[in-house]
Amino acid sequence: MAININESLSAEHVCIAADTGGGKTAAVKLLGVCGDCVAIFDLYGNYRFDGRKGKVNKFNGLGGREVFTFHDRKSFSKAFISAWRSGKKFVLAYNPVSQKPLNQKEMLEFRRQELDFFGGLMWAALDGKRKLYIAIEELAKLVSTTGKDSSIIGEIATGGRAFGGVLVTVFQRKQEVPKTIWNMSPNKIIGALDTKADIKAMNEATDAPIECLNHVSKLNAKYKAQFLHYIIKSAGFGNVSAKRVSLKAPFKVDNLALDEFLLLK
């Protein structure tokens, strides 16, 4: 289990929420939410890296960083333990693939079991000396509760901070993930939301103004191939700002106050 508790470490967990096409994975890749040592539970292979000439850019891998992907527990464990012990920077992804055909119910159970394995390995690695960024894609599809999370991922959310763990969770709706995950993550990144109900729920959960949340969706629809826009809720009351990210090289990120953001047309 995690060792060398250090209560002086600050909480840095991040929740990233947006509807399909709203920029969730792009936020992980382009906004610098992950540091030197990264392990990703990559449900759909979104972080595959193509090292061929002309293919390397910030959308490739993790913000242009090389990602090594593994599909079974043995190979991922071996690679992760070796990378972690080396003390060097790394990005590893676990994209579990079943060795036999599964129906929908069986696939859900398989994925939940693989997430438990992944989370257990991450918890065991935390040593209080280095930060380990633990990213989980599509968390809402894998959880069994929206209340208190008693799983190993919930343990990382509540206790991982003091051992150097930084949890980065990606999902569509705040209402679909455990309160433990949401409440223990001081940093929120909000992309395009498609319904008034989702926008209202996010407004109530973050104090981000409804007009700003609406504006994200409008701008992302208008500039679909050019820019992505986000509302950023940082630790502390009232710390809300915005970002605009270019989808063309050099993928410039503009940091904006909310009044500046609302002036974007």
The DSSP annotation for 223-245 comes to: TTTTEEEEEEE-SSTT-EEEEEE
Predicted confidence at residue 59, as pLDDT, reads 87
- Is 23 within a domain? yes
> Which of 18-27, 87-96, 199-208 holds the top average pLDDT?
87-96
pLDDT higher than threshold 70 for residue 1 = no
Burial track 175-212 (b if 16+ CB lie within 10 A, e otherwise): bebbebbbebbbbbbbbbbbeeebbebbbebbebeeeb
Boundary of a domain, candidates 185, 208, 223 = 185
E-only strand ranges, the chain: 14-17, 37-41, 68-70, 90-94, 132-136, 165-171, 187-190, 227-233, 240-246, 253-256
**pTM strictly above 0.85:** yes
| Same-domain check for residues 161 and 47 | yes
Query: CB within 8 A of 60, min separation 6: which ones?
Result: 49, 50
* Minimum mean pLDDT range among 86-90, 122-126, 221-225, 257-261: 221-225
Boundary of a domain, candidates 185, 220, 244 = 185
- Is 192 within a domain? no
What six digits make up the tokens of 146? Answer: 């929206």
- Comparing CA positions, the residue from 180, 194, 261, 201 lying closest to residue 227 is 261
- Number of folded domains in the chain? 2
| Average pLDDT score, the chain | 94
- Comparing CA positions, the residue from 2, 265, 19 lying closest to residue 138 is 19
Higher pLDDT: 238 or 141? It is 141
Boundary of a domain, candidates 152, 185, 218 = 185
| Same-domain check for residues 79 and 181 | yes
The SS3 of residue 166 is strand
pLDDT higher than threshold 90 for residue 43 = yes
Residues 121/80, Cβ–Cβ less than 8 Å: yes
Predicted confidence at residue 4, as pLDDT, reads 86
Give dist(CA 216, CA 231) in Å, integer.
7
- Is 232 within a domain? yes
* Minimum mean pLDDT range among 137-146, 161-170, 185-194, 217-226: 137-146
User: How confident is the model over 242-263, as a mean pLDDT?
Assistant: 95
pLDDT higher than threshold 90 for residue 256 = yes
Residues above pLDDT 90, as percent of the chain: 83
